[in-house]
Amino acid sequence: RHVKMQTACRKDIDRFNSQFLTVFESLIPADEERVKQKQLLTVLEKLVAKEWPDARLYLYGSCANSFGFSKSDLDVCLAIELGNNEKSEVVLKLADILQSDNLQNVQALTRARVPVVKLMDPVTGISCDICVNNMLAVVNTKLLYDYARIDVRLRQLAFIVKHWAKSRGVNETYQGTLSSYAYVLMCIHFLQQRRPAILPCLQAMNITYFRNVDNVECAYFDQVEKLGNFGSRNGESIAHLVWAFFHYWAYCHDYATDVVSVRTGSTLSKRTKDWTRRVGNDRHLICIEDPFEVSHDLGRVVDKYSIRVLREEFERAAEIMQYDPNPCVTLFHPY
Ligand code: 3AT
Ligand code: MG
């Protein structure tokens, strides 16, 4: 019955394809933004090199993983030999250095979970967060970037899902909903599950990229240009995939037993990960395994209240994709 419904729905929903593509295109940053980001990075690199000649700056997050909207912030990681210094000392020193240049609103947040320096560059208007030695984020940024190069539908789907999540207020980790990073992983998982698959499982293929980061082995096949048109045997349109994505998270995912795992290209059982009960504040009500830090559940921020909010939002979106005469508008209606 499910298959029948999917096929019946398919021709119908394809009418909305160009509208969804228009939404996607309206969110893509313009080239001049990239230029400005590079400009700011160069300024920062010069300032950092004066104090720490061996340190390096890396971009991570949405400014580098190809899932960034226009006008998003710059996430930067300072990679530095710490010696006897604490991260917070480096953060304070860095804030000092940046302050003396003409950057604005320089703030050192030393007591945050991840110590960062926040700043605004008046020349480019870009806001920026700089953290110290967060190399796992740099590596998972590259993984997302490489997945996005395989099939354009990942980027289209993830933009639409992120836009939906931001519009509906379910992209707020401090309120118990999910990070953008988690949503992109959900999209990758979903496209790995399509038949025929639209994305492969890069971590299950031969290794062409390897980094040991904080004793975590990060390894996968990164020569994705050699995959050709991997997803082309699957002709599903973006509108259909948006419909199927919300249908999957509303009605098909087993929240009680399953863990989404991009690393294995499949789902795992909560039991094998020992994610069956609440430990401290980690409740595991929706389980999304980090591809590299495998003990890390990106759903751990979700609590018994916010899981209901999330699932109701997935159901609302699924209903809209099924029945609404104007899904491209209703889906993104502010909550
Ligand atoms: P926005 O466009 O800013 O919403 P983003 O891609 O910058 O999305 P986040 O702000 O959620 O995503 O996170 C920034 C990066 O930090 C993305 C990822 O490389 C890393 N990251 C975020 N959350 C985690 C996490 N829980 N575990 C590991 N890495 C994470
Ligand atoms: Mg960000």
Share of the chain above pLDDT 70, in %: 97
190 contact partners, CB below 8 Å, separation of at least 6: 157, 241, 244, 245, 248
Among all bound ligands, the one having the nearest atom to the CA of 173 is 1
Helix axes 2-13, 238-247, angle to 10 degrees: 140
**Strand blocks (E) in 189-304:** 209-213, 216-220, 258-261, 266-269, 287-289
The pLDDT value recorded for residue 40 is 94
Whether the CB-CB separation of 144 and 90 falls below 8 Å is answered with: no
Helix axes 180-193, 238-247, angle to 10 degrees: 100
Tell whether ligand 1 has an atom less than 6 A from the beta carbon of residue 67: yes
Burial of residue 120 (number of CB atoms within 10 Å: 0-12, 13-18, 19+): middle
Q: How far is the CA of 31 from the centre of ligand 2 (A)?
A: 18
Pairwise CA distance, residues 135 & 114, whole Å: 12
Tell whether ligand 1 has an atom less than 6 A from the beta carbon of residue 6: no
Whether the CB-CB separation of 299 and 284 falls below 8 Å is answered with: yes
Residue 213: how many CB atoms within 10 A of its CB? 17
3-state helix, strand, coil in the chain (%, to 5): 50, 15, 35
Q: What would the two tokens of residue 286 be? A: 């929706």
**Strand blocks (E) in 80-115:** 104-109
pLDDT of residue 4 exceeding 90: no
- Rounded to an integer, the average pLDDT of 257-270 is 98
Pocket mutation for ligand 1, best pick of 179, 216, 294 (most atoms within 8 Å of C-beta): 179
pLDDT single digits (tens) 308-325 = 999 999 999 999 999 999
The mean predicted confidence, pLDDT, of the chain is: 95
In the chain the domains, ranked by start, together with CATH numbers, are: 2-27+150-330 (1.10.1410.10), 31-136 (3.30.460.10)
The pLDDT value recorded for residue 293 is 98
- Rounded to an integer, the average pLDDT of 133-152 is 98
- ipTM of the complex, rounded to two decimals: 0.97
Helix axes 238-247, 152-167, angle to 10 degrees: 50
The pLDDT value recorded for residue 103 is 87
Pairwise CA distance, residues 135 & 292, whole Å: 12
Share of the chain above pLDDT 90, in %: 88
pLDDT single digits (tens) 152-181 = 999 999 999 999 999 999 999 999 999 999
The pLDDT value recorded for residue 83 is 84
Whether the CB-CB separation of 192 and 158 falls below 8 Å is answered with: no
pLDDT-based confidence at residue 141 (cuts at 50, 70, 90): very high
- Rounded to an integer, the average pLDDT of 80-98 is 92
Look at ligand 1, atom 25, and give the residue with the nearest C-alpha: 298
Q: How far is the CA of 99 from the centre of ligand 1 (A)?
A: 26
- Rounded to an integer, the average pLDDT of 63-74 is 95
Among all bound ligands, the one having the nearest atom to the CA of 184 is 1
pLDDT of residue 8 exceeding 80: no
pLDDT of residue 186 exceeding 80: yes
Q: How far is the CA of 67 from the centre of ligand 2 (A)?
A: 10
pLDDT of residue 243 exceeding 80: yes
pLDDT of residue 10 exceeding 70: no
**Residue 96 identity:** D
The pLDDT value recorded for residue 113 is 85
- Rounded to an integer, the average pLDDT of 207-220 is 98
The pLDDT value recorded for residue 2 is 57
The pLDDT value recorded for residue 310 is 98
Pocket mutation for ligand 1, best pick of 37, 62, 135, 213 (most atoms within 8 Å of C-beta): 62
pLDDT of residue 3 exceeding 70: no
The pLDDT value recorded for residue 134 is 96
Tell whether ligand 1 has an atom less than 6 A from the beta carbon of residue 66: no
pLDDT of residue 121 exceeding 60: yes
